[in-house]
Amino acid sequence: MRYPIVQTGMGWVAGARLASATSNAGGLGIIAAATMSLGELDEAISEVARRTDNPYGVNMRTDQADTKDRAKLIASRGVKVVSFAQAPNQALVEQLRQAGVVTVATVGAPRHAIKVASMGVDCVIAQGSEGGGHTGAIPTSLLLPSVVDSVDIPVIGAGGFYDGRGLVAALAYGAQGIAMGTRFLLSLESTVPDVVKAKYLAASLADTVVTTAIDGAPQRVIITEKIRSMEKAGRLAAYLRAIRAARAFQMVSGESFLSLLKEGKSMKSSQELSWSQVIMAASAPMLTKAAMVEGNLEAGILPTGQVVGEIDSLPSVQEIIDSIVVQAKEILEKLRTA
Ligand SMILES: Cc1cc2nc3c(=O)[nH]c(=O)nc-3n(C[C@H](O)[C@H](O)[C@H](O)COP(=O)(O)O)c2cc1C
């Protein structure tokens, strides 16, 4: 990597095109594989490898029936980095590290950073509450210094970053770099439909909310009619919707009912969820897909960082990275000579 800038894994958003563009621009592109089948991941890796000679990563779930096969594929194809979409487990971390893959876990609290560091994870992304998708309660300005003080492994800041000022701030807190989701979602190379990008560009800093109505875990999204109605709906309506969507995800992902059930059992024990939460979690990807792939603003949900309110353009990934680096260098020079 030429620059300490990571494009994070975003389900249905961070495909081969976005990841390779980022790695070609000097950052680290990450393929979002949590919403891909094993075959799709295989294809995405081949495509990124065709498009770039620079290092790139894969974001993966830790509780799928074929997790071991995915890890084997990743290692055999020379992928340099794996980031986890959920809390990692020791066996998976060991399997990847023994194969020479650098492992990265996202944390929202210092105690989580300590826990994953004790598992042998190589690096943490400390994501503050302003970040997109599933997110914690501690803002980046407090989480970052506190995680830096808690662990001896490299820390990357996430949640609310979009420019050179943010990069310098993260370095000042002791981080090694920044990771961004929303900024890269709003780029030329992002395959998100234009109608959805327009909705994001129109959003202000106050137009997002953290809700548990989607899958039981706090997730930051743009406030829409869909979110309002999900928050109002009773539990029964939520479960019925979740069962329908989980069934649809099963068909799209090509997973057998049995393997989905196995995954559900493993999610239930590793994340201490109830069966109803497991069904809701399995259904959530379909709601994101409706927006991010099909452009359906009524049926879909719009995961986002609060930073969406500060973004009003769709530059190329190269322009995003170059402008961050130029601005960061200018600031550092100003501080040095002040
Ligand atoms: C549309 C969207 C989808 C996401 N999907 C995933 C995912 O599949 N796996 C994951 O680890 N994080 C996911 N995230 C979280 C991002 O990878 C990243 O940590 C977050 O967006 C950083 O905050 P920022 O948006 O303020 O830059 C998603 C975020 C967004 C906005």
Q: What is the pLDDT of residues 107-158, one digit of tens each?
A: 999 999 999 999 999 999 999 999 999 999 999 999 999 999 999 999 999 9
The answer to whether residues 292 and 217 touch, using CB atoms and an 8 Å cutoff, is: no
305 lines ligand 1 (CB under 6 A): yes
Give the full edge-to-edge strand order of the sheet including 208-211: 133-134, 219-222, 208-211
Q: What residue type is 283 in one-letter code?
A: S
C-alpha span between 207 and 175 (Å, rounded):
29
Q: What residue type is 219 in one-letter code?
A: Q
- pLDDT over 70 at 249, yes or no: no
The pLDDT, as a whole number, for residue 84 is 98
Where do you find CATH 3.20.20.70 in the chain?
A: 5-191+312-337
The pLDDT, as a whole number, for residue 285 is 87
- pLDDT over 90 at 66, yes or no: yes
Q: Which of 8, 61, 221, 286 to mutate to test the pocket of ligand 1 (most atoms within 8 A of CB)?
A: 8
More confident residue, 240 or 70: 70
The answer to whether residues 303 and 133 touch, using CB atoms and an 8 Å cutoff, is: yes
Query: pLDDT band for position 260 (50/70/90)?
Result: low
Query: pLDDT band for position 282 (50/70/90)?
Result: confident
The pLDDT, as a whole number, for residue 251 is 62
108 lines ligand 1 (CB under 6 A): no
Query: pLDDT band for position 272 (50/70/90)?
Result: low
Q: What is the pTM of this model?
A: 0.92
Please give the distance, rounded to the nearest whole angstrom, from the Cα atom of residue 239 to the centre of ligand 1: 24
- pLDDT over 70 at 227, yes or no: yes
124 lines ligand 1 (CB under 6 A): no
Q: What is the mean pLDDT of residues 202-208?
A: 98
Q: What is the pLDDT of residues 178-190, one digit of tens each?
A: 999 999 999 999 9
- pLDDT over 70 at 253, yes or no: no
11 lines ligand 1 (CB under 6 A): yes
Give one DSSP letter per residue of 120-165, joined into a string.
T-SEEEEE-TTSSEE--SS-HHHHHHHHHHH-SS-EEEESS--SHH
The pLDDT, as a whole number, for residue 277 is 67
Task: Please check whether the domain covering 5-191+312-337 is classified as CATH 3.30.750.24.
Answer: no
Distances in whole angstroms, Cα of residue 68 to Cα of each of 64, 82, 96, 106, 166: 9, 13, 9, 20, 37
Q: What is the mean pLDDT of residues 17-38?
A: 97
Give percent above pLDDT 70 in the chain. 87
Please give the distance, rounded to the nearest whole angstrom, from the Cα atom of residue 91 to the centre of ligand 1: 24
The answer to whether residues 328 and 164 touch, using CB atoms and an 8 Å cutoff, is: yes
The mean pLDDT value of the chain amounts to 92
